[in-house]
Structure 1
Amino acid sequence: MDWSDLKWSIVIQVNKLSTQKIYLNPYKDCSEENPLYKHRGWVERIITDSRFNLTDPRLAKLCKISESTAFRWRSKIHKIPVEGWGFKRYLHKQKNRNQIWTKVPKNYRNPFALKKVGFNYMLEHRYILEKEMAQQPEKYKIYLVNSKYLKPECRVQHINLDSLDNRIQNLHPCGNQSEHEQIHSSLFKLIDNLLKKELLIFNDGRYILNY
Structure 2
Amino acid sequence: MTTDLEGYFRRQTRPQRQEFTRVAIAAAADGIPTIGPVLGGLLTVLIRFGAVRRVLDLGAGNGYSALYLAEGMRGEGEIIALERDPRRAVAARQNLAHCSVKTNVLIGAAQEVLPGLGAPFDLILLDLDNTDYLYALEHCARLLRPGGMLVTDNTGFADAEPFNAALAADARFYSVNLLCLLPGHSPENDGVALAVRQ
| Both proteins in one fold, TM over 0.5 | no
TM-score of the superposed pair, with normalisation by structure 1: 0.24
More strand by share: 2
Q: Which has the larger radius of gyration?
A: 1
More helix by share: 2
Q: Greater RCO between the two (CA within 8 Å, min separation 6)?
A: 2
